[in-house]
Amino acid sequence: MNPRSHIRLVVLHVMVFVLLLVLGGRLWTLQVLDGAYYKQFAEHNRIRDIVVPAVRGQILDDKGRPLVRNRTALVVSVDRTTLSRQPDGGRAVMRRLAVTLGIPYAELSARIRICGAGIKRPCWTGSRYQPIPVDDRADPKQALQIMERQEDFPGVTAQVQAVREYPRPQGAQAAQVLGYLQPITQDELNRRKDFKVTGFSGADLIGREGLEAEYDNYLRGVPGIRQVNVDSKGRVTGIASEQAAVPGANLVTSIDAGVQATVESSIKEAIDTAHRNGKHADAAAGVVMDVNTGRVVALASYPTYDPNIWTGGISQNEYDALLGKGSGEPLISRATQGQFAPGSTFKISSLAAAVGDGYNLHGTYECPGSFMVGSRAFRNFEGESPGNLNLHQAIVVSCDTIFYRFAYEEWLRDGNIHPVKDPKDPMVKMARNYGFGRRTGIDLPSEVAGRIPDRSWKLAYWNATRTSNCKHGKTGYPNEPADRNAYLTAIAAENCVDGYVWRAGDAANFAVGQGDVLVTPLQLARAYAAVANGGKLVVPRIARAIVRPDGTVVRRFDPLPPTELHVPQNVLDYLRSALAGVPVEGTARGAFADFDLKKVPVGGKTGTAEVYGKDDTSWFASFAPADKPRLVTVVMVSQGGQGAMAAAPAVDRIWQAIFGMHGQQPLLPGGVLPNGLPTFNPDRMVTTP
């Protein structure tokens, strides 16, 4: 071998040695120095978390009858991410799916659009990364086709899931109380880290209204996590660890399905009656509540809707029908979200205020047909003038002019239109005392506060509307009919100048629950409960307990401490006795003609509130038994006419059903509510698929 070859071989030796050394060094850094880093990577590579949805808890009535439960459904869902990876964006898959499910292709593809500006329902309101349910009533044959031919249906799954069902025990619907579920939005997911997307389309729902929203945290349960080993193609090769899902707890409510159903049908009947009387009755509400604890036995609102429409996607037509004005807005619970002038039912407050301001409880007052408040005559209903009355009679026959006088005289003492410093305003203060103008604190979302129009409210309102009023005061309302135009223009012109002034008319209207006074039926029920129970302003409550499916009580909701109603006991006694006279010999005598008041004495008050341009709001607020009150019942019928005509008969029917009249089985014998919690059979729970 020549020397040059020899040298080159030596060089080759060195090169090979160096290269192998490089490999060894690289292996050392990769495996020994950085090994932990890559181990972490490897973990991610092969363990995947699968979130196992928890079954949502049921909502039960007082006796354990489910108002909401779950049924298993075969839900077909579409995963947009997988679809978008198809060469044609998944159109072919959707066409095949449309044929299989028998749903028009256009409709099916509309359902998986993401809702947004300019996209009308059907569309998906949830996160775009969740599978979107397109059909929750698939039959097993369709589901089998989809699961067996996954190569034809990439991204499409059919799973057995639990969906909400409304069994309507005794016919009770309570749609607005129960609320509804909607898909979690991407926004909510981003905000609330504790929400885990289950990947089960139907399970990633959140309570949006009613009890479903209020007690969402208890009802939803905790999803489980199953960690599975997966290979590079995402196929599951085994289970690494499993943390079982904790099913949501059941909510036991104070609603009695029987009473609830009765209230629902009674207010519906009141609406029908009002229609027959030529009134435009458009909404109604009914409340039944324990006077001592605030336990809500029934809470109904009309118009109502079938909550089943929320399950499995809602069409634009259905959604419009729910939210639209034309449909009467059935999502709104009139009992807690409806605000109406209370009319004469408000006199329990005004009477207490007058007595507190020095008027003799046992005095006699003239009840003329009309009373001059300043330059304007304020009339009794239909101008009746029953002569001299004591306050008991004033309540029984519902004399307004006595209260106009009280209010007017108090207003004069407060300084007329140039009020003294710190005016007494006894009527306003008493109304606040009764809890009007603020939320009752019931365990339902979106409760409204009503309105107690006082001097500061008038000033604020005047500031807010002055520009518009002054404009209309000059130009009028050319689009309105002539008489209405004249009236409105005059008011606008007046309000433009001194709309902030607390005028005599404001004070007089206030005394009889008219003018700008607005209350919710629930607020009124609570006020009457306070009269009935001797002066405690309770906090209404629907939840009684949270109970796990196995029967363990997680939380018991005891009545919240009531606030004191600052009205002397003798005044309350007097009021109760006066109210007890109303069905016997007063304005509600006709409505209670068929009621055995000797067996169960009832106290109550009619209310007929005028609403400009509309039919009167019909009210009846009552409690029973009048001698030892247990329950309060309030019914309101918007545009129902006189209190005695629409609302009082409805309350009569409700009391008859509760106490059992004319041989019917009483729903709550003696008006007594069950004390213990229901025990229910765990077998009736729907288990996870």
Partner 1 sequence: MINSYGVRPSLIGRVLARGSVVRRLDWVIIACVVALGVISSLLIFSATRAQLIEQHQDPAAFLKKNLLNLAIGLVLGGLVTALDYRLLRAHAPILYALSCLGLIAVLSPLGATVNGAHAWILLGAGFQVEPSEFAKVALVVLLAMIVGEPRDGESRTGNSGPGLPDILLSLGLGGLPMALIMLEPDLGVTLTFGAIILGVLAVSGVRRLWLFGLTISAVLAAAAVVLLGVLKPYQIARFSAFLNPAADPRGAGYNAQQALIAIGSGGFFGTGLFHGEQTTGHFVPEQQTDFIFTVAGEELGFIGSAVIVLLLGILIWRGLRIATQAADLFGTLVATGVVVWLAFQTFENVGMTVGIMPITGLPLPLVSYGGSATFANMLGLGLLQAVHIRSRPG
The footprint of partner 1 (CB under 8 A) covers: 1-6, 8-9, 12-13, 16, 19-20, 22-24, 26-28, 30-32, 34-39, 41-42, 45-46, 229-233, 237
Cα–Cα distance for residue pair 509/407, rounded to 1 Å: 9
Question: Torsions phi, psi of 199, nearest 5?
Answer: 85, -15
Cα–Cα distance for residue pair 293/559, rounded to 1 Å: 6
The secondary structure element, H or E, covering residue 582 is helix 569-585
Tell me how far, at minimum, the Cβ of 27 lies from partner 1, in Å. Answer: 5
Question: Torsions phi, psi of 126, nearest 5?
Answer: -85, -165
User: Do the Cβ atoms of 346 and 512 come closer than 8 Å?
Assistant: yes
Tell me how far, at minimum, the Cβ of 285 lies from partner 1, in Å. Answer: 59
Q: Are strands 631-638 and 283-290 parallel, antiparallel or unpaired?
A: antiparallel
Tell me how far, at minimum, the Cβ of 24 lies from partner 1, in Å. Answer: 6
Q: Which is nearer to partner 1, 28 or 129 (CB)?
A: 28
Q: Which is nearer to partner 1, 31 or 385 (CB)?
A: 31
Tell me how far, at minimum, the Cβ of 127 lies from partner 1, in Å. Answer: 23
End-to-end CA distance of the chain: 81
Tell me how far, at minimum, the Cβ of 234 lies from partner 1, in Å. Answer: 10
Cα–Cα distance for residue pair 368/303, rounded to 1 Å: 40
Q: Which is nearer to partner 1, 46 or 471 (CB)?
A: 46
Cis peptide before 689 (omega within 30 of 0): no
Q: Which is nearer to partner 1, 85 or 484 (CB)?
A: 85
Q: Which is nearer to partner 1, 1 or 117 (CB)?
A: 1
Q: Specify the DSSP class assigned to residue 675.
A: -
Please, where are the H alpha helices in 157-235? 175-178, 186-191, 210-214, 216-220
Q: Which is nearer to partner 1, 17 or 129 (CB)?
A: 17
Q: Are strands 59-60 and 250-253 parallel, antiparallel or unpaired?
A: parallel
The secondary structure element, H or E, covering residue 239 is strand 236-243
Cα–Cα distance for residue pair 403/344, rounded to 1 Å: 10
Please, where are the H alpha helices in 361-520? 391-396, 401-413, 426-433, 455-475, 482-498, 504-511
Q: Which amino acid is at 144?
A: L
Q: Which is nearer to partner 1, 30 or 119 (CB)?
A: 30
Cα–Cα distance for residue pair 651/273, rounded to 1 Å: 13
Q: Which is nearer to partner 1, 16 or 92 (CB)?
A: 16
Q: Which is nearer to partner 1, 42 or 160 (CB)?
A: 42
Tell me how far, at minimum, the Cβ of 157 lies from partner 1, in Å. Answer: 22
Q: Which is nearer to partner 1, 3 or 116 (CB)?
A: 3
Tell me which residue of 315, 250, 318 sits closest to 555, measured CA to CA: 250
Q: Which tokens sit at 248?
A: 């949501």
Tell me how far, at minimum, the Cβ of 87 lies from partner 1, in Å. Answer: 17
Q: Distance of CA 172 to CAs 265, 298, 442, 447, Å?
A: 9, 10, 20, 22
Q: Which tokens sit at 254?
A: 């104070």
Q: Distance of CA 182 to CAs 157, 259, 295, 465, Å?
A: 20, 29, 28, 38
For the chain, state the CA radius of gyration: 34
Tell me how far, at minimum, the Cβ of 51 lies from partner 1, in Å. Answer: 21
Tell me how far, at minimum, the Cβ of 7 lies from partner 1, in Å. Answer: 9
Q: Which is nearer to partner 1, 21 or 144 (CB)?
A: 21
User: Do the Cβ atoms of 559 and 293 come closer than 8 Å?
Assistant: yes
Cα–Cα distance for residue pair 228/183, rounded to 1 Å: 26
Q: Which is nearer to partner 1, 235 or 598 (CB)?
A: 235
Tell me how far, at minimum, the Cβ of 11 lies from partner 1, in Å. Answer: 8
Tell me how far, at minimum, the Cβ of 84 lies from partner 1, in Å. Answer: 15
Tell me how far, at minimum, the Cβ of 129 lies from partner 1, in Å. Answer: 18
Q: Which is nearer to partner 1, 21 or 99 (CB)?
A: 21
Tell me how far, at minimum, the Cβ of 149 lies from partner 1, in Å. Answer: 21
Q: Which residues pair with 543 in a beta bridge?
A: 253
Residues 6 or more apart whose Cβ sits within 8 Å of residue 80: 90, 112, 128, 129, 132, 155
Tell me how far, at minimum, the Cβ of 32 lies from partner 1, in Å. Answer: 5
Q: Which is nearer to partner 1, 7 or 490 (CB)?
A: 7
Q: Count other Cβ atoms within 10 Å, centred on residue 100.
A: 20
